[in-house]
Amino acid sequence: MFNLVIFGPPGAGKGTQSEKIIDKYKLVHLSTGDMFRSHISNDTELGKRVKEILADGRLVPDSITIDMLEEEVKNNPEAEGFIFDGFPRTVPQAEALDAFLEGKGSKVDLVLQLDVDQNVIKERIAERQKVSGRADDDAVKLLKRIDEYFDKTIHVLPYYQEQGKVTTLNGVGKIDDIFEAICGAIDEKH
Ligand code: AMP
């Protein structure tokens, strides 16, 4: 089993690169943002609870997020490994993931950090919003999401750095060039 955390601010290219990684490495892509959006569009109980939070660009409470993520992992018993995209976003989430994987005799093998400048993020998300129409991609909500990233999520990095698991890659450039660098980092550990 090979488990990868893809890490970076909103607009770093986590979703785009995850799609390419799953094709090549046959991992299951688990994006907590996609899961929440699917709950919201299906109007589930969970969707109703988190709708406002997502619309505001705030983080969903850890307990809700962790339970949902673990459920999805359990729904994929045949998986050869996972890409965790947008999770963990807080240190308690990272601790919960470690404990959960350990219980399955597994672990996080690699944390890929996509390093992207704040100005590039803002430009990319403005472009994405034209296509995605995501309410939380508007300029005000985006600032909130960037705040949440630098306030809470960034602390996840030292947590994994202490475990010697982080590889940092430049997330600016051609999609295929970034992907090649990602493959290099994965192949070293795979
Ligand atoms: P994303 O698609 O990863 O940008 O996530 C969209 C939104 O979903 C975030 O702004 C949060 O409101 C929520 N979300 C996604 N993943 C998490 C997480 N791991 N912890 C808390 N909230 C999350």
Residue 129: pLDDT over 90 = no
What's the CATH code of the domain at 59? 3.40.50.300
Domain range for 154 is: 2-189
Q: Which residues does 10 contact at the CB level (< 8 Å), separation at least 6?
A: 121, 125, 142, 145, 146, 149
Residue 140: pLDDT over 90 = no
Which residues line the pocket of ligand 1, CB cutoff 6 A?
10, 32-33, 36, 53-54, 57-60, 65, 86-87, 89, 93, 136, 145
Q: How many residues comprise the chain?
A: 190
Residue 119: pLDDT over 90 = no
Mean pLDDT, range 132-161, rounded to an integer:
89
Residue 137: pLDDT over 90 = no
Number of domains in the chain: 1
Nearest residue to 10 (alpha-carbon basis) of 176, 185, 139, 178: 139
The rounded mean pLDDT for the chain is: 94
Please give the pLDDT value at position 190.
83
Atom of ligand 1 nearest to the CA of 10: 4
Structure-block tokens of residue 92: 């308690």
Taking residue 95's Cβ as centre, other Cβ atoms within 10 Å add up to: 15
